[in-house]
Structure 1
Amino acid sequence: MKLINCLTLEVEEFVQDVPPYAILSHTWTKHEVTYRDMNNRKVASRKEGYPKIVDTCRVASEYGLEYVWIDTCCIDKSSSAELSEAINSMFAWYKESKICIVFLTDFTCFSEETLVEIIASFDARQALEDQEDKFYKDPPPLTTDDINLRDKVRKELGSCKWFSRGWTLQELIAPYHIQFYDKDWNCFGSKLQLASVLSWITGVDTRVLSGKPLESVLVGRRMSWASNRTTTRVEDMAYCLLGIFDINMPLLYGEGKKAFIRLQEEIIKSTHDLSIFAWKSDIEDRRLFRGLMASSPSEFKGCHRLTMPAFIWNDGGEYGITSKGLRTEGLIRIGRGEPGVGSYYLPLHCVDERQKKHILAVKLRQYGPGLFARLQPWPRVTVVDLNVYSAARIVQPQYIQLKDSPWLDVIVLSSRTNAIQIDVPAHIFDVNSVTAYPQADWDLRNSILLSFHRPYFWGMWKAKLKDKDDGIAIVCVRSSGWLLYGIFALNKFPPGLDRHNIFPSQVEEILQRIPDRAVTRCSTYIHTIKDSQINLGEDAREIPATLLQVSCSKLTQLRNSRSGITRVQNLFKKVDLNGNSSQ
């Protein structure tokens, strides 16, 4: 670690036994003093940033410290290895400093009287919000004086460049002792004294500013602190957050936005915190589907109130990163009793602290064998309240797309082209008893056999009658230009179709040898099936598919007439596999 000697202004290097030091937090000017400049005092002293070094050393000496660290001139940026080590160590360096000196070049300190009023107003408001019942009622409205003070803080202190830069976020959080100085080097308060004011400006919790461990704050909430900050280089928007998530990773300048993707991947690997997926995209983003990972910290703006739920409900769900996406087991839920498409959810095990009612979740859409994508990631649409007690859990492993793709909309939508949807009377069948095979090929929530661009495929769907052990099975096979299907009572299921290793060609052969496959008798009902063409598209996009609709009639209704009895007898002639019928 390289440090500046406050007395000699020389840079000294320490491999171990690093002496106590002060550290500077500031915003850069166009002409800062570099590490190489420090070897030539004459060159260094002519640069715009040199007086800042001198004043920092003077202030550090006043605190009894002999050394300071300043990022502009204590890192040899010509060495990529040293730069990478410094960025990965920077959070720790700020945390281990004896004092952090924040220098605001674009701020003139408030008068002492005004500063006292500001701190008193913000502290009083914070005390109200910290009351135990803050989740159930709003604090009283601000007075006119309080509003005026906040306007003043926003225009004068909050508009400082220091509060908008990515790197200064960790410089605010990591050190315990911070002193704030205005452009004339007048000290106007410490981090603890200004905690409620700083929290209001930055969104960082006052408890974190007072020393609460970062690990106790959800990942999504921590991301929200950086949502309004910027960096000069795109990659630095990820690198400046390494310490806040306790992540170490190599720097690859030139990778652009991939740096933030890598950061999220490392966070996913190191923590079981699903709030990292609680982001919302901008309302102008009109893509129908996205991956689970955000494109930048700006998409976490709405996550500043995320907190843990008051109860633990997810007991065993696991996930991990694979080449197919996020592999989940026991996490994806099916929303029961909710109409419409897209009732698959990934609960995020977090709540809005203002309500604490339901678990937040993101909507998913199945688009491949066990494959899902995030549906409509817009504000107020993607992240929803989910009553987990009414949501069935998908137990077998599933995969959710992690990264965005320009072709994701096309891939997901075309997976339903020529799909087959089953529709049965909900008042007769128990929707919770539905099973299907091959299970990975079905959108079970919506009873849709997905095509996945396949020219030849088959599926089987079963459901029981309400409060009965009887039920029906629907078997279908589709190829280019034709569709075969049949409906059967579970106790009269055709031999050969109950095997799980059967091929579409075998299903086709069996169905073709059964002439009366559009009607069956189950319990006290006659069930018939017919097909029609439907559109599974949305957002003005047309996706042709087939609907297999089941109609049910009670046997008592058919027996009311002699012709009805005759029809029933004719319908239930025994059919062998050779196509011969008998009474």
Structure 2
Amino acid sequence: MRLINCQSLKFEEFVRDVPPYAVLSHTWGKDEVTLNDMRNRDEALENDSERGRFRKIEDTCRVALEQNINYAWVDTCCIDKSSSAELSEAINSMFAWYKQATICFVFLSDFTSFSEDTLEEIVNLFDAREPLEEGFYKDPPPLTNQEITIRDKVKKSLGSCRWFARGWTLQELIAPSCVQFFDRDWKCFGSKAQLASVLAWITGIDSSVLRGKPLDEILVGRRMCWASTRETTRVEDIAYCLLGIFDINMPLLYGEGKKAFTRLQEEIIRSSHDLSIFAWKAEGNDLRRFRGLMANSPAEFKGCQRLVTPSFEWNNGGEYSITSRGLRTESLVRITRGESAEVGSYFLSLNCVDARQTKLILAVSLSQYGPGLFARRKPWQRFTVFDLNVFSAAKLSQPQYICCKDSPELEKIVMDSRVDAIQIGFSVDIFDRFDRDSITAFPQADWDLKNSILLSFQRPQLWGMWKIKAKDQDDGISIVCVRSSGWLLYGIFAWDKLPAALTQTRLLPSEVENILKRLPDRTSTSCSGFHHTISDIKLDLGENGVKVPATLLQVSSTEKERSQRRTGSNFIKRLLKKV
């Protein structure tokens, strides 16, 4: 580690036994002092115009010596930025270096401190308000006129400093245990501990974290929210400046642009079991119907400031991992049950709640678009489910893969998966559509069980079987459909009348077609006191003006006795007509 000797203003390097040192946190100007400038400082100071450039570093060393600290570290000049290896090591180590510092000096070059009386009034008002904001089940009392006036004053002066808007300064505020704040004249006006409630209001960071609470006790989505209003000069740095916040190490690849933030999310997913990383919401101008699971930037976590863990972990730690096909899981994707408008929808529970709505579990709404493949649906909305609904929701038995990365083609891929698809329509009064295990399908990965659709994935050949249980009965109906040689064939059967040849799981579409062709009657069946018939209807599964041609197989069900009476009546009518 390269440190500045505060007395000689020369560099000294330490591999072990690093002495106590002060660290500077500041915003960079246009002409900051570099490593080479410091090595040639004596020559530079011969030119009076160069003296001002070194003043920030000299003041840092002066204040450190006043506090009996003999060494200092300043990011502008203590890193050899011409060495990519050293730069990568420094950025990956920076959080630790700030944390290990004896003290951190925050220099606000665009702020003039309040008077002592005003500052005391500000701190007292914010400290008094803090306990009122902690209640989860009720809103805090409204702000008084005095509080509104004080907050406006803080926002226009201290809150408007560039230091609070930069990405790198986030970790520089959180990591050190001891932080002192200085105004433009290097006047110290308070410490992080003294100003914790004020800083929490300005930054959105929990005051408990500013007072030393471990970061791993804060949900990932909530930590991302702290960076949602911050900016960096280079696009990649919005990811790199967060490495320490999430205890992540990864190589730096300047030039990769927004991919850096995607890589950061992937590393977080690999190293933690915190699903709140998917709790982001698309910004208002992004109205795409489908997205991947990854956020585009920390700005999409803006609404995650109050995320907390619910009272119980419903999924018993269901595992997930990043694969080439997306986020792989065997138990996290569920189908909602109950009476809500989202009944039958696929969702991924995020195992987190808003602190003021502890019964509503945040979730990601999903749409199926391939064999076990899902995409995030309506990412601009905040989707929630009741904790009891989450607990009772049906699991999918086969592995699921949720698309992670965004693609301009994703929306087209999702919609095209329904071109020439086959949907089943039936009476919900006769069948137990939303009872657990009432519907089974084969191959399950090809079926959108939410909408009873056999997805096409633009395949010229496909076949599937769909089974549903009759209410309060131990039997039901099976529907078999196949598209093989350009034609759609289908059949409806009672469970006990399903041809044995169709119970094999490894049939080819052409084999299913041949079996159905040989059956004399496959458009009607009877079970549980009902007579069921099936017919095909042209269907449009598109949305928002996009046409998606498909077929609806509509099941019509009538009570068997009524059907027999209707048949007898028709026979009598025909007989009378002949007479």
Give the TM-score normalised by the residue count of structure 1: 0.94
Does residue 89 of the first structure (1) align with residue 93 of the second (2)? Answer: yes
Residue 447 (structure 2) aligns with: 442
Q: 1:239–1:251: 8 Å Cα contact kept in structure 2?
A: yes
Give 2:323's aligned amino acid.
Answer: T
Give 1:450's aligned amino acid.
Answer: L
Residue 245 (structure 1) aligns with: 246
Residue 206 (structure 2) aligns with: 205
Does residue 355 of the first structure (1) align with residue 357 of the second (2)? Answer: yes
Residue 300 (structure 1) aligns with: 301
Shift of 1:190: 0.4
Shift of 1:515: 2.5
Shift of 1:43: 5.0
Residue 103 (structure 1) aligns with: 107
Q: Taking structure 1 as reference, are residues 528 and 319 closer, same or farther at Cα in structure 2, changes over 3 Å only?
A: same
Q: Taking structure 1 as reference, are residues 518 and 566 closer, same or farther at Cα in structure 2, changes over 3 Å only?
A: farther
Shift of 1:288: 1.4
Listed one character per residue, the Cα deviations across residues 277-318 of structure 1 (whole Å, up to 9, x for unaligned) are: 000111211221111001111111011111100122111411
CA distance in 1, matches of 2:353, 2:237: 30
Give 1:229's aligned amino acid.
Answer: R
Q: 2:441–2:466: 8 Å Cα contact kept in structure 1?
A: yes
| 4+ residue segments displaced more than 2 Å | 42-45, 336-342, 382-387, 479-482, 558-562, 564-567
Residue 345 (structure 1) aligns with: 347
Counterparts in 2 of 1:470-509, with a 5 A limit?
Answer: 470-479=475-484, 481-509=486-514
Shift of 1:542: 1.1
Give 1:37's aligned amino acid.
Answer: D
CA distance in 2, matches of 1:537, 1:545: 9
- Per mean C-alpha deviation after superposition, the further-off stretch among 47-56 and 543-552 is 47-56
CA distance in 1, matches of 2:407, 2:279: 19
Residue 395 (structure 2) aligns with: 393
- Per mean C-alpha deviation after superposition, the further-off stretch among 18-27 and 329-338 is 329-338
Residue 516 (structure 1) aligns with: 521
CA distance in 2, matches of 1:6, 1:389: 60
CA distance in 2, matches of 1:549, 1:451: 18
Residue 404 (structure 1) aligns with: 406
Shift of 1:534: 1.4
Shift of 1:395: 3.0
Q: Taking structure 1 as reference, are residues 137 and 446 closer, same or farther at Cα in structure 2, changes over 3 Å only?
A: same
Residue 17 (structure 1) aligns with: 17
2:255 is paired with a residue whose SS is: coil
Q: 1:341–1:446: 8 Å Cα contact kept in structure 2?
A: no
CA distance in 1, matches of 2:106, 2:252: 26
1:58 is paired with a residue whose SS is: helix
Q: Taking structure 1 as reference, are residues 561 and 474 closer, same or farther at Cα in structure 2, changes over 3 Å only?
A: closer
Does residue 8 of the first structure (1) align with residue 8 of the second (2)? Answer: yes
- Per mean C-alpha deviation after superposition, the further-off stretch among 149-158 and 543-552 is 543-552
Residue 370 (structure 2) aligns with: 368
Q: 1:455–1:479: 8 Å Cα contact kept in structure 2?
A: yes
CA distance in 2, matches of 1:19, 1:283: 50
Q: 1:80 aligns with which of 81, 84, 104?
A: 84
CA distance in 2, matches of 1:277, 1:298: 13
Counterparts in 2 of 1:27-176, with a 5 A limit?
Answer: 27-45=27-45, 46=50, 48-130=52-134, 134-176=135-177
Does residue 227 of the first structure (1) align with residue 232 of the second (2)? Answer: no
Q: Taking structure 1 as reference, are residues 105 and 477 closer, same or farther at Cα in structure 2, changes over 3 Å only?
A: same
Q: 1:316–1:330: 8 Å Cα contact kept in structure 2?
A: no
- Per mean C-alpha deviation after superposition, the further-off stretch among 537-546 and 498-507 is 537-546
Q: 2:337–2:344: 8 Å Cα contact kept in structure 1?
A: no
Listed one character per residue, the Cα deviations across residues 201-255 of structure 1 (whole Å, up to 9, x for unaligned) are: 0000000000000000000000000000000011111000000000001111111
Does residue 467 of the first structure (1) align with residue 472 of the second (2)? Answer: yes
Shift of 1:379: 3.7
Give 2:349's aligned amino acid.
Answer: P
- Per mean C-alpha deviation after superposition, the further-off stretch among 33-42 and 209-218 is 33-42
Number of equivalences: 563
Q: 2:545 aligns with which of 540, 545, 563?
A: 540
Give 1:409's aligned amino acid.
Answer: E
1:36 is paired with a residue whose SS is: helix
Residue 572 (structure 1) aligns with: none
CA distance in 1, matches of 2:120, 2:466: 71
Q: 1:361–1:385: 8 Å Cα contact kept in structure 2?
A: no
CA distance in 2, matches of 1:501, 1:266: 39
Q: 1:362–1:384: 8 Å Cα contact kept in structure 2?
A: no
Residue 575 (structure 1) aligns with: none
Give 2:14's aligned amino acid.
Answer: F
Q: 1:29–1:49: 8 Å Cα contact kept in structure 2?
A: no
Q: 2:294–2:405: 8 Å Cα contact kept in structure 1?
A: yes
Q: 1:371–1:400: 8 Å Cα contact kept in structure 2?
A: yes
Q: 1:526–1:555: 8 Å Cα contact kept in structure 2?
A: yes
CA distance in 1, matches of 2:43, 2:118: 42
- Per mean C-alpha deviation after superposition, the further-off stretch among 441-450 and 388-397 is 388-397
- Per mean C-alpha deviation after superposition, the further-off stretch among 44-53 and 21-30 is 44-53
Residue 452 (structure 1) aligns with: 457
Q: 1:33–1:44: 8 Å Cα contact kept in structure 2?
A: no
Residue 525 (structure 1) aligns with: 530
Q: Taking structure 1 as reference, are residues 17 and 335 closer, same or farther at Cα in structure 2, changes over 3 Å only?
A: same
1:484 is paired with a residue whose SS is: strand
Structure 1: runs of 5 or more not aligned: 568-583
CA distance in 2, matches of 1:408, 1:43: 59
1:551 is paired with a residue whose SS is: strand
Residue 573 (structure 1) aligns with: none
CA distance in 1, matches of 2:418, 2:394: 23
Q: Taking structure 1 as reference, are residues 180 and 506 closer, same or farther at Cα in structure 2, changes over 3 Å only?
A: same
CA distance in 2, matches of 1:195, 1:429: 60
Give 1:10's aligned amino acid.
Answer: K
Q: 1:349–1:360: 8 Å Cα contact kept in structure 2?
A: yes
